[in-house]
Amino acid sequence: MTTATVPTDSTTRATAHPGRAASRTRKALLHVVLLLGGLAMVFPFLWMLITSFKSLPQLLNDPLSVWPHPFTLQNYADAWSDVPFGQAYWNTIYIAVLVVVGTLVTAAMAGYAFARIPFRGSKVLFVLFLATQMIPMQVTLIPFYFLMAKLGWVDSHLALIVPAALANPFAVFLMRQFVLSLPRELEEAALVDGAGRWRIFWSIILPNLKPGLGALAIIVALSTWNNFLLPLVILNSQDLFTVPLLLQSFRGQYGSVNYGLIMAASAIATIPMLIAFVIGQRRILNSMAASGLGGR
């Protein structure tokens, strides 16, 4: 007489869903790979912070030590006092604020025009305008410098503010995508009530662009703060230097002597924008998804 084997619940589930276990395994491996990749990207930043708290004797005698002993803040005090970081902070902040404000205004208006106002050659003009994103900045750097020299803007912050605030193809494209995502019924109802284009833009379109404008402000601020090549070419006076340019000058003075000072100065230059990105990253991702750029 044979004995029948009664399958258990776990055996039944495994047999009924053979692909579920494989899917879980793939997800676990994916999470492991992403975790290792995240650690690899975070490690240089952590090493910068750790090194910035090490004393010069420790760096010379035991440069590969993991933890600072003794723990010191002297590098930050020396880095801040040796070069005019305060002036560089002010220069970078006010340049970033003006560029952000100008970009938001011009990009919102241009995005609305390209999305909602039909005119002859609008599509061709938009494609040509967007195609400028494909030209590397290094290609146009020399003509840009000669143009700024003709205007008398060399060694002036105007060369960093005005062109960036007036023409940003990515910002215009992003605002156009946001305007296209808005229902046309809002605009049609306003047109029926007799509102003009300016009234529609300021009263209807602009308030609905706030999520996109917030994300764009963070992106432009980060880009302006981290801009190094253009200030390097345009600015000559140290009192006009931005933070990245001053950091490069500081590295040239102390780079081969005291790595702790360099790491402290790098942390001073990096941490404010890192905090801004951490605070605004969710807004950026949500705005990209809402505009259709998130790969939906």
Tokens of 276: 């801004």
CB 102 within 8 A of CB 166: yes
pLDDT(178) > 70: yes
Percentage of the chain lying above the pLDDT 90 cut? 17
pLDDT(265) > 60: yes
pTM of the model: 0.77
Q: Residue 157 is which amino acid?
A: H
What is the average per-residue pLDDT within 217-227? 88
So what's the pLDDT on residue 9? 53
Give just the sign of the alpha carbon dihedral 243, 247, 253, 254.
positive
pLDDT(96) > 70: yes
For the chain, report the end-to-end CA distance as a whole number of angstroms: 61
Rounded distance between C-alpha atoms, residue 228 and residue 248, angstroms? 9
pLDDT(200) > 80: yes
What is the average per-residue pLDDT within 157-183? 89
pLDDT(107) > 80: yes
What is the average per-residue pLDDT within 177-199? 83
**pLDDT band at residue 249 using 50, 70 and 90 as cut-offs:** confident
So what's the pLDDT on residue 18? 57
**pLDDT band at residue 296 using 50, 70 and 90 as cut-offs:** very low
Rounded distance between C-alpha atoms, residue 214 and residue 280, angstroms? 9
So what's the pLDDT on residue 234? 92
Cβ-defined contacts of 114-122 (< 8 Å, 24+) = 114/172, 114/176, 115/176, 115/179, 115/180, 116/179, 116/187, 116/205, 117/197
Which residues, other chains included, contact 56 with Cβ-Cβ below 8 Å and sequence gap of 6+? 258, 260
Question: Among 93, 78, 74, 137, which residue's Cα sits nearest to residue 273?
Answer: 93
So what's the pLDDT on residue 98? 95
So what's the pLDDT on residue 149? 93
What is the average per-residue pLDDT within 82-98? 88
pLDDT(87) > 60: yes
Tokens of 77: 């005090």
What is the average per-residue pLDDT within 23-51? 86
pLDDT(295) > 50: no
So what's the pLDDT on residue 102? 94
Domains with residue ranges and CATH for the chain: 85-249 (1.10.3720.10)
Please calculate the CA angle 187-190-192 and round it to the nearest 5 degrees: 110
Tokens of 134: 């494909």
pLDDT(203) > 50: yes
Q: Out of 132-141, 223-232, 287-296, pick the least confident.
A: 287-296
Mean pLDDT score of the chain: 81
Taking only the tens place, the pLDDT of each residue in 9-22 is: 555 554 545 567 77
Question: Among 271, 264, 274, which residue's Cα sits nearest to residue 82?
Answer: 264
Q: Out of 81-95, 125-139, 171-185, 244-258, pick the least confident.
A: 244-258
Which residues, other chains included, contact 172 with Cβ-Cβ below 8 Å and sequence gap of 6+? 106, 107, 110, 111, 114, 129, 130
So what's the pLDDT on residue 257? 63
CB 234 within 8 A of CB 241: no
Place of tokens 């039944």: 12
